Structure 1
Amino acid sequence: MFTPESLASFEREVGATLTEFERSLEKAAPGAVTVLGAGVFQVDCDNVTLRMDAKPVAPRRIGLFVLPVLKVSYQFSGGDEKARKALLDHLDRAMQRGGG
């Protein structure tokens, strides 16, 4: 799993559409997600708040396959490093897609 150097703020690319990302985020954290605007999400869990700004970028093309890509900016507030990592790990596991 990806672990950034700092859990204050970081960016990463996610293979999904905005709709897919929102749907999987809400399944990963039921009742904890607030949609703040188009592509802007907030997850409140215990004393940790995570804001995510997701913007579509150029898709990946592999032969005839076209894979959507989002650039997602993560900004944490509240909680300590351990609590932030626990939330990120939970979301990553819950939002993980199957593969070969």
Structure 2
Amino acid sequence: MQSTYAEHFVREMGCTSAEWLGWLPGAVRDCPLVLDESRATVSLPHGDLHLDWEALPPRRIALVQLPRLLVRFTFVGTTPDVRLNFMRYFDLYLQRGGG
């Protein structure tokens, strides 16, 4: 887990757009969420989080293909504490199995 989160950052996620859209409502917990095709706005205490995403070509490792999604996070009007608290839950919710 990170100890701080910038107001704007980009991540590459290992999922499809359909998977992302299925996970997003749970990942934002009880924060109001507005979806619009490949964009979303999450209402946070004293600000918002704007998300937008686009599918990338799959990553190929030998015969395996892994989906990729580029996700941009833009926090507006939030404090570092709000960003940290939101992202801690968000990251834990999206954490998948592994070693």
Q: Which residue of 2 aligns with 1:33?
A: 33
Q: List runs of 5+ in structure 2 lacking aligned partners.
A: none
TM-score (norm. length: structure 2): 0.85
SS of 2:26's partner is helix
Q: Percentage identity across aligned positions? A: 31
Q: Deviations for 1:11-54, whole angstroms, at most 9, x for unmatched residues?
A: 1101111111111111222452210x222111113323111111
RMSD: 1.9
Residue 74 (structure 1) aligns with: 73
| SS in structure 2 at match of 1:27 | helix
Deviation at 1:79, TM superposition (A): 2.3
Structure 1 unaligned runs (5+)? Answer: none
Tell whether the 8 Å contact from 1:48 to 1:84 is kept in structure 2 after alignment: no
Q: What letter matches 2:22 in structure 1?
A: R
Distance 1:62 1:24, change over 3 A: same
